[in-house]
Amino acid sequence: MLRLKTYKHWTDPAPVGCHPLADSPHALVTDLEPAATIAPPEVIGIDPHTASILPVGRPCTLEPYVLAELPGGRVFSHHGVIIDQSNHIVSDLVWEFNSYPLGNRVCHYEGLPEVREIDGSVLVLPSISAWKNYCHWIADSLPRLRAIRDWIERADYIFTPLGRPYHQEWLDRLGIDPAKIIEAKPDTHLRAKSLVVPSPAEPAKPHPSAVAWLREQIPGWSDIEPTRKIYIGRGDAWRRRPRNENEFIDYLADRGYESVTLSGMPSLDQARLFASSAEVIAPHGAALVNLVFSKPGTKALELFPSDYIYPQYFRIAAVAGVRYAAHSSPCERKDPDLDFEFETMLPMVETFLKA
């Protein structure tokens, strides 16, 4: 049996496995939104290699949105792992990126930290990687609140990550009382009298209602006119930096583009930037989650390393009504950076600019 080592002082038993919410004892489930299917985005252009990996032309299925109330339910870690009274992880309420024999890595831990008892209701906000990744915070975690605003007031406590400035910025925007917050940390393990869990979106696959709700949180969003043309620079990133990015920035500047760096920019300002932009070009990265704030009809060109092509923002473009294009430049995963392959990329860019 696979066992993943944990801290020696973690002596509470790990979950024995995973099962669906329907098998969770005493769970009270409220259906909020059914499963849905959305059409793929309008595609302006995609190079053959990228098109062979992205789900071009295929519809996307979105999971149902429900609210579960689990008496005596537990939540573990900054990933928001939900464990019911039978010591099973509730698979409908937890996402896992990798495959494990028992369904979730936590089932293979040698133990969990001693549980902390909470005499009250706890509303769970984090989903997998939302503690560190801006995309998963915006697309997966925050929209869990969209149809249960009353629970922000009703819950005795709210379980949420706090490690990044954008966490606190959004908690303040939503009017969440700091006195009610329990910070989600790697070793946090709580058992609540009532654990209140809105289902998270499958990573980077928000419902249209989630996108609409996010836009409603931006003051004046509907009045913003999209006129700007922006390139989101990645020179300050820790990986996947384009070594010849400055040359590309000069090329785009001649075509009316401004280069923008999002590091340090408040999240709400990022949202307004994307809402005000008619054209967006950016290397693959979490900044592109801001397409949820773009106006329908906006054009977006995503630039991939050839060995790091994932469909998050292709799907978000579909939900947000964004017209989409993509290109990949050769890169090996062992190489943290890449060179834009101008010979094949610039014709794609010109097609994008004229669309």
Q: pLDDT at position 1, please?
A: 47
What residues have CB less than 8 Å from 178, skipping those under 6 apart? 171
Domain ranges of the chain: 17-31+63-202, 221-354
Smallest CA-to-CA distance from 123 within 172, 156, 90 is with 156
Q: How far apart are CA 94 and CA 83, in angstroms?
A: 9
Q: Tell the residue number behind the tokens 């790091």, with chain if given.
A: 308
Q: pLDDT at position 268, please?
A: 97
Q: Tokens representing 216?
A: 């409603």
Query: First CA to last CA across the chain, in angstroms?
Result: 55
Q: Which CATH fold topology does 221-354 show?
A: Rossmann fold (3.40.50)
Q: pLDDT at position 334, please?
A: 60
For each of the chain's 355 residues, which pLDDT tens digit applies? 455 556 667 889 999 999 999 999 999 999 999 999 999 999 999 999 999 999 999 999 999 999 999 999 999 999 999 999 999 999 999 998 888 899 999 999 989 999 999 999 999 999 999 999 999 999 999 999 999 999 999 999 999 999 999 999 999 999 999 999 999 999 999 999 999 999 998 888 999 999 999 999 999 999 999 999 999 987 666 667 778 889 999 999 999 999 999 988 999 999 999 999 999 999 999 999 999 999 999 999 999 998 889 999 999 999 999 999 999 998 766 666 778 889 999 999 999 999 9
Q: How far apart are CA 226 and CA 323, in angstroms?
A: 14
Q: What angle do CA 175, 176, 182 make, to 5 degrees?
A: 165
Long-range contact list for 16-19, CB < 8 A, 24+ apart? 16/87, 16/88, 16/102, 16/107, 17/88, 17/89, 17/102, 17/103, 17/107, 18/88, 18/89, 18/90, 18/91, 18/94, 18/102, 18/103, 18/104, 18/107, 19/86, 19/88, 19/89, 19/90, 19/91
| Cβ 163 vs Cβ 131: under 8 Å | yes
The CA dihedral of 89, 176, 129, 166, to the nearest 10 degrees, is 180
Reported pTM: 0.94
β-pairing verdict for 116-124 and 88-90 = unpaired
